[in-house]
Amino acid sequence: MSNKFVYVFGASKTEGSADMKNLLGGKGANLAEMCRLGISVPPGLTISTEACTVYTEKGAESIQKLLDAEVRQGVAFLEKEMGKKFGDAADPLLVSVRSGSRASMPGMMDTILNLGLNDEAVEGLANKSGNERFAWDSYRRFIQMYGDVVMGLKPESKEDHDPFEAIIDELKEKKGVELDTDLDVNDLKEMVAAFKGMIKSRLGREFPNDPWEQLWGSVMAVFQSWNNDRAVFYRQMNDIPGSWGTAVNVQSMVFGNLGQNSGTGVAFTRDAASGEDIFNGEFLINAQGEDVVAGIRTPQQITLEGSTRWADLAQVSELDRRTKYPSLEEIMPEIYQQLLKTETALENHYKDMQDIEFTIQEGKLWMLQTRSAKRTGAALVRTSMEMLAQGLIDEKTALLRVGADRLNELLHPVFDGQAVKKARLIAGGLPASPGAATGQVVFFADEAEAWVAKGKDVILVRQETSPEDLRGMVVAKGILTARGGMTSHAAVVARGMGKCCVSGAGSVRVDPKARTMTIEGVVYNEGDWISLDGSTGKVYEGKVPTKDAELSGDFGKLMELADRYKRLAIRANADSPEDAKVARNFGAVGIGLCRTEHMFFEGDRIKSVREMILAQDEAGRRSALAKLLPMQRGDFEGLFVEMAGLPVTIRLLDPPLHEFLPHDEANQRAMAAEMGISYDEIKHRVDDLHEANPMMGHRGCRLGISYPEITEMQSRAIIEAALNTKAKGVDVRVEIMVPLVGTVREFNAQAKVIRDTIEVVFAERGTHMNYLLGTMIETPRGALVADSIGKQAEFFSFGTNDLTQMTLGFSRDDIGKFLPDYLKDGMYEQDPFQSIDQKGVGLLVKMAVEKGRAARPGIKLGVCGEHGGDPASIDFFHRVGLDYVSCSPFRVPIARLAAAQAAIGQ
Ligand code: ADP
Ligand code: MG
Ligand code: MG
């Protein structure tokens, strides 16, 4: 740490620059940079983030002592630049105090304007400016901001109105006027007296008259705000370390409230919602600070085009527009031209879309801020591709600038932004699966199906979901659960389906018996309309209109560009031709995982599956399996046709058998009746199949080892489907995958059944074809002995979900109980089921990759767990040298971009 804490910026001297964000914060660094570019910026000084760190460690008194001389020097610099004296009663130098950390943190601390005013200086300002109303307006604003931000005069309860605004409202009412700007100088004097009186009576302290006391109070308040609840929470949400600290900017004031020739505004160099390359923004005449965003007065548009577009939307006639809300372009054409020049210069300089703040003081333009603009995912894509086309940035920058996860927003239907603003927010949960959904509440999966069959749109509301709810989830527009995290069943399944889901909405009390849900005392019945925003986790009452996601041409261009840079191939996890089609459209180059058991749930098949499970002996099982064979074969044929020319990896049956049986008495009785068996027998068999820990029980290849006839049937279905499809001239590329292998003997045993069956089919048909036979690597032992397995298996697909469960010893279905604490306390940095635990599980993957390649050079290596769609995990998989990742169809574009970013980053 250096012992210099204060850096000045101004026309004659500037010590900072844009690359000093860590030290000066984003705002300070960019103000300095603008000065360097010769743009007119009111001079100021920046107290570095290091001072904030000292404040946090040693307290206010120590840091003030350390800063005193430098701050005085800095203020002397401002005085020289402005030709005014800080604290001078006749012609006071006024300043603003503004916070600003490395990363922009909205709402961390409110800005203080007009600091340096007191009862004497306000008269001086009035005399000097010849504008008494302006002086008192500035003074009342200062007291209001300082009283709130530094002295801490807040509403008494959250239901209460802001106490300062309450006084203003009273005054306006008394005078019978609508706007602040309608109050005259005497009203403002009365307001000042009332503000000060309230501060005295409520806080027992006087409003400070001494400008230096005001200044130090504000600086310390900014440092203090770094650790307020809002800031801490925001940092947690965005992974910003508390050690960064905030800088403080003390800047000479320029005044937008000096009359009709003054004003203040904010602007974007491009459109933040659509990304369109069009300069746009809003301003207010005779206003200061954040009046524009505060929404007290209707702001006017900066450009004429923006103004006419706005009038169209706001249904304002052209006459009204021109007379009441003219654009800056119309009323101050010269200022407008300057602003246009400045915004272009800034965008060209930073090579990114900027968000700028400015003030006009009596016909002179001052810039007060510039930063990279926050924008929607769609706008990110469009601005990046257009800036690339415009030669502003290169290909790598264009690819790196779009956060891969932001593409989510482009892939699902979304709520109409305007409609959301009007909607009533009733609950919030985890944004488990993005998208927008509107429907009628139902509480049961079967009822969801029944309602949808009648043509209704439903939202399935559950305490939490289980695999038995799958069918209801498939038909529902969206899923809302009261419990469960981001990797809960509902969340994982919903993401796989690209279905909107909000999970873990804690305030929702589901009473399935009464068929109601209660949220903060309000009861919602079956059939009531609600809307879910899966991207924000918000739940709204009623129907909120949606609009289709738009896949613009730029999105396609970005994907093509990504494909040119990435090394990893992107496949999809898909079980049906429909999913496969979505995946292909999104650019998947194969199926990395087809879960055959998902096909078992469809239609009448579950009956034959249950018959197989309940069979007493092999003969019984074989006869049930014979019924399943044509159905599976048909499914595979559909998949092969859809994926013509691309590899399809089919996994043999994986889950424990009891997942296919009903667990409640009513359904067991229904099943007994249907199958003509006694209820007791069914109950007995279900109890028999019960396992203490099914995740590590009778599943995966263990099923095929106990019941080779299942493997036989599935192998036959796969290869017959492949031959049938091939006979139609389709290029079929089959990969058969054995799950949950821990020792090479398991693999060999299953491989023998598969190969023998396939040879029989080849002989029957008098033909043959190529196929690959490989294995999942998803048990830690499997990874440890990957060399011996690699000698036998032709490919590995890392099942990182199971590998994570077993390596960490975390049951995925139970993590809800402890993972939140774990994440809060930093035991793990991220949910290891969402983003792969690189140091632990990742090490096993890395080792198995090396062992596999050593055993079989050229072995195909991929991953098919949930992690296959997570950008940070994809980066890791790229680095360990996998050939492909496989993710849910809706994440394919995200994975394509993430794979390109991984390749560029390396
Ligand atoms: P935020 O981080 O919330 O945007 P800022 O520090 O940018 O807060 O301040 C908000 C607004 O206050 C600015 O957009 C500008 O309009 C006004 N402001 C800040 N400093 C000055 C100044 N020195 N002169 C005039 N207006 C200022
Ligand atoms: Mg603010
Ligand atoms: Mg700002």
C-alpha 163 to ligand 1 mean position (Å): 22
* Of 18-27, 154-163, 321-330, minimum mean pLDDT range: 154-163
| Residue with token string 């407008």 | 336
Sort residue 862 into left (φ over 0), alpha (ψ -120 to 50) or beta.
beta
DSSP-assigned letters across all residues of 756-812: HHHHHHHHHHT-----EEEEEE-SHHHHHTHHHHHHH-SEEEE-HHHHHHHHHT--T
Residue 108 lies in a domain: no
602 secondary structure, DSSP code:
S
43 lines ligand 1 (CB under 6 A): no
Instruction: Give yes or no: residues 359 and 485 share one domain.
Output: no
- In what helix (H) or strand (E) does residue 285 lie, and over which residues does it extend? strand 280-285
Instruction: Give yes or no: residues 463 and 315 share one domain.
Output: no
Q: Report which residue type is found at 368.
A: L
Q: What's residue 600's pLDDT?
A: 85
Nearest to 742 by CA among 825, 807, 649: 807
Q: What is the pLDDT of residues 637-674, one digit of tens each?
A: 999 999 999 999 999 999 999 888 888 899 899 889 98
416 secondary structure, DSSP code:
-
C-alpha 155 to ligand 2 mean position (Å): 18
Q: What is the pLDDT of residues 594-603, one digit of tens each?
A: 999 888 877 7
Q: Which residue has the higher pLDDT, 719 or 108?
A: 719
Q: What's residue 462's pLDDT?
A: 92
Instruction: Give yes or no: residues 355 and 307 share one domain.
Output: yes
Q: What's residue 558's pLDDT?
A: 97
**pLDDT over 60 (residue 232):** yes
C-alpha 103 to ligand 2 mean position (Å): 14
Among 357, 364, 372, say which to mutate for ligand 1: greatest number of ligand atoms within 8 Å of CB. Answer: 357
- In what helix (H) or strand (E) does residue 342 lie, and over which residues does it extend? helix 333-350
Instruction: Give yes or no: residues 755 and 866 share one domain.
Output: yes
Residue 617 lies in a domain: yes
Instruction: Give yes or no: residues 501 and 599 share one domain.
Output: no
Among 110, 368, 372, 374, say which to mutate for ligand 1: greatest number of ligand atoms within 8 Å of CB. Answer: 368
- Token pair recorded at residue 877: 């998989």
Mention every residue, 6+ apart, whose C-beta is less than 8 A from residue 44: 8, 9, 10, 31, 78, 95, 249, 250, 251, 252
**pLDDT over 70 (residue 106):** no
CA distance 625 to 605: 10
92 secondary structure, DSSP code:
B
Dihedral angle over CA of 888, 893, 898, 904, nearest 10: 150
Average pLDDT, rounded, for the chain: 92
Which numbered ligand comes closest to the C-alpha of 282?
1
Residue 537 lies in a domain: yes
Q: What's residue 237's pLDDT?
A: 65
Is the CB of residue 409 less than 8 Å from the CB of residue 485?
Answer: no
Is the CB of residue 350 less than 8 Å from the CB of residue 370?
Answer: yes
Dihedral angle over CA of 576, 579, 584, 588, nearest 10: -90
Q: pLDDT band at 355, cuts 50/70/90?
A: very high
Instruction: Give yes or no: residues 345 and 456 share one domain.
Output: no
CA distance 112 to 97: 5
Q: Which residue has the higher pLDDT, 512 or 77?
A: 77
**pLDDT over 80 (residue 484):** no
Mean pLDDT confidence for 883-905:
96
Q: What's residue 296's pLDDT?
A: 60
Is 878 designated active site?
no
108 lines ligand 1 (CB under 6 A): no
Which of residues 316, 346, 375 is at a domain's end? 375
Nearest to 480 by CA among 532, 445, 526, 435: 532
CA distance 842 to 846: 6
Among 359, 361, 371, 374, say which to mutate for ligand 1: greatest number of ligand atoms within 8 Å of CB. Answer: 359
Is the CB of residue 251 less than 8 Å from the CB of residue 10?
Answer: no
* 3-class secondary-structure state, position 122: helix
- Token pair recorded at residue 798: 């890392």
- In what helix (H) or strand (E) does residue 437 lie, and over which residues does it extend? strand 436-442
Is the CB of residue 777 less than 8 Å from the CB of residue 783?
Answer: yes
Report the number of secondary-structure helices (H) and strands (E) in the chain: 38, 31
CA distance 792 to 775: 9
| Residue 459: CATH number of its domain | 3.50.30.10
Residue 795 lies in a domain: yes
Q: What's residue 551's pLDDT?
A: 57
Q: pLDDT band at 230, cuts 50/70/90?
A: confident
369 lines ligand 1 (CB under 6 A): yes
Which residues are registered as beta bridge partners of 473?
A: none
Binding-site residues for Mg(2+) sit at 778, 802
Residue 61 lies in a domain: no
**pLDDT over 70 (residue 687):** yes
Q: Which residue has the higher pLDDT, 695 or 431?
A: 695
Mean pLDDT confidence for 146-159:
85
Q: Percentage helix, strand, coil, to 5, in the chain?
A: 50, 15, 30
CA distance 417 to 565: 34
Which of residues 547, 567, 590 is at a domain's end? 547
Instruction: Give yes or no: residues 825 and 762 share one domain.
Output: yes
Give me the catalytic one of 35, 412, 489, 887.
489
Domain extent for 479: 413-547
Q: What is the pLDDT of residues 514-567, one digit of tens each?
A: 999 999 999 999 999 999 998 888 999 999 987 756 556 899 999 999 999 999
**pLDDT over 90 (residue 343):** yes
Q: What's residue 553's pLDDT?
A: 86
Give me the catalytic one of 35, 501, 701, 864.
864
Nearest to 374 by CA among 270, 291, 225: 270
Which numbered ligand comes closest to the C-alpha of 25?
1
Is the CB of residue 886 less than 8 Å from the CB of residue 862?
Answer: yes
CA distance 847 to 589: 26
DSSP-assigned letters across all residues of 155-220: -SSTTSPPHHHHHHHHHHHHHT-SSGGG--HHHHHHHHHHHHHHHHHHHSSPPP--HHHHHHHHHH
Q: What is the pLDDT of residues 250-296, one digit of tens each?
A: 999 999 999 899 999 999 999 887 789 999 998 999 998 877 665 56
Q: What's residue 616's pLDDT?
A: 87
Q: What's residue 539's pLDDT?
A: 95
Q: pLDDT band at 160, cuts 50/70/90?
A: low
Nearest to 741 by CA among 676, 788, 684: 788
CA distance 21 to 44: 16
Q: Which residue has the higher pLDDT, 604 or 249?
A: 249
Q: What is the pLDDT of residues 164-184, one digit of tens each?
A: 989 999 999 999 988 888 899
Instruction: Give yes or no: residues 648 and 507 share one domain.
Output: no
Is the CB of residue 16 less than 8 Å from the CB of residue 7?
Answer: yes
User: What is the chain's Cα-based Rg?
Assistant: 33
CA end-to-end distance (rounded Å), the chain: 31
Total number of domains constituting the chain: 3
CA distance 35 to 41: 6
Residue 233 lies in a domain: no
Q: Report which residue type is found at 143.
A: I
Is 489 designated active site?
yes
C-alpha 245 to ligand 3 mean position (Å): 18
| Residue with token string 């210069």 | 345
Mention every residue, 6+ apart, whose C-beta is less than 8 A from residue 647: 571, 590, 591, 733, 734, 735, 772
Q: pLDDT band at 107, cuts 50/70/90?
A: low
**pLDDT over 90 (residue 317):** yes
Is the CB of residue 700 less than 8 Å from the CB of residue 743?
Answer: no
Sign of CA dihedral 587, 590, 593, 595: positive
* 3-class secondary-structure state, position 623: helix
**pLDDT over 60 (residue 709):** yes
Mean pLDDT confidence for 3-22:
96
Residue 685 lies in a domain: no
861 secondary structure, DSSP code:
E
Instruction: Give yes or no: residues 465 and 513 share one domain.
Output: yes
DSSP-assigned letters across all residues of 606-622: HHHHHHHHH-SSHHHHH
Instruction: Give yes or no: residues 457 and 505 share one domain.
Output: yes
Global confidence as pTM: 0.83
Q: How far is CA 577 from the centre of its chain?
A: 30
Nearest to 268 by CA among 374, 142, 168, 367: 374
Instruction: Give yes or no: residues 612 and 750 share one domain.
Output: yes
254 lines ligand 1 (CB under 6 A): yes
Query: In what order do the strands lie in the sheet containing 500-503?
Result: 425-428, 538-541, 529-533, 436-442, 458-462, 478-481, 500-503, 430-433
Q: Is 713 exposed, middle or buried (0-12, 13-18, 19+ CB in 10 A)?
A: buried
| Residue 287: CATH number of its domain | 3.30.470.20
C-alpha 518 to ligand 2 mean position (Å): 36
Nearest to 419 by CA among 436, 432, 442: 436
Please state the three-class secondary structure of 626-680 as a single string: HHHHHHHHHHHHHHHHHCCCCEEEEECCCCCHHHHCCCCHHHHHHHHHHHCCCHH
Q: How many CB atoms lie within 10 A of CB 319?
A: 8
Which of residues 353, 375, 397 is at a domain's end? 375
**pLDDT over 60 (residue 413):** yes
Q: Report which residue type is found at 18.
A: A
| Residue 822: CATH number of its domain | 3.20.20.60
Instruction: Give yes or no: residues 358 and 421 share one domain.
Output: no
Residue 828 lies in a domain: yes
